[in-house]
Amino acid sequence: MSVINAMTVDVEDYFQVSAFEKFIDRAHWDKFPCRVERNMDRILGLFAEKEVRATFFTLGWVAERYPDLVRRIVDEGHELASHGFTHTRVTQQSPQEFRADIEKTKKLLEDISGVEIKGYRAPSYSIGAANLWALDELSEVGYCYSSSIYPVKHDLYGMPEASRFAFRPRGEHGILEIPITTVRFGNKNLPCGGGGFFRLYPYAVSRWALRRVNQNEGQSGMFYFHPWEIDPDQPRQSGVGLKTRFRHYLNLGRMEQRLMALLRDFKWGRMDQIFLGKETNVSTRA
């Protein structure tokens, strides 16, 4: 039987990414032309065509303005999950501020959709060794799992010493953490779960890595992307640095074609249906 992987989408618009936060004030977000609705329409249509069910980690800011989009996600059989309210990294919040954010977003998404919100993903994978207290807050608020730790070394995020697969960093009664998928190469974890790395690597590299996780390790992988990544016509931001421009705009025109190949080459499902209730191999250590 083929391994089923988790397909996930971080529902945010092009002007809301962490890389632009020094250049775009959150107070000015409403001044930008939103493209998340049209991009999500394309994504949902593609998933329907390929009979794929996915998990959508949705910003409260987006849900508040596009409630019909939130309801459509649920009506079409996908899992709705939280991405926080205003894409504020956990590293920039106190425990009190973080708790207010995750409570507010959970309630809003549940009020709009009528379903329980079980999952949370921190903006920019901003939970790591220095702020694991955030996992306690998520558990106390009522979330069942988090997908917020990236077991890689990166200049913006990462906890390379963390488990590469589902584990409970706060002990057997703590929340389940499901890291973004990596492949072990030598003594390093290499990203193979989506985002800018998927646009950077040739598709064959991503396919090889995910197959290795599925076939050699017998584990379900997790892939993520953003609606703006299939939108090469999005407005270009001026004044941003060269590295930021490279990371954000690289190969946007090739993303949808690669995504279609990924949907063809692997089996996909929702986070909750793949990981919750299957605890036999879950570790309680990082």
Convert the pLDDT of each residue in 69-97 to its tens digit.
999 999 999 999 999 999 999 999 999 99
**Spatial separation of the C-alpha atoms in residues 89 and 101, rounded to whole Å:** 11
Residues 122 and 95 sit within 8 Å (Cβ to Cβ) = no
Q: Determine the pLDDT at residue 261.
A: 97
Structure tokens, 272: 């909750």
Residue-level length of the chain:
286
pTM over 0.85: yes
Q: Assign a CATH topology to domain 4-275.
A: TIM Barrel (3.20.20)
Domain parsing of the chain, residue ranges: 4-275
Q: Determine the pLDDT at residue 185.
A: 86
- Share above pLDDT 70 across residues of the chain, in percent, rounded to a whole number: 95
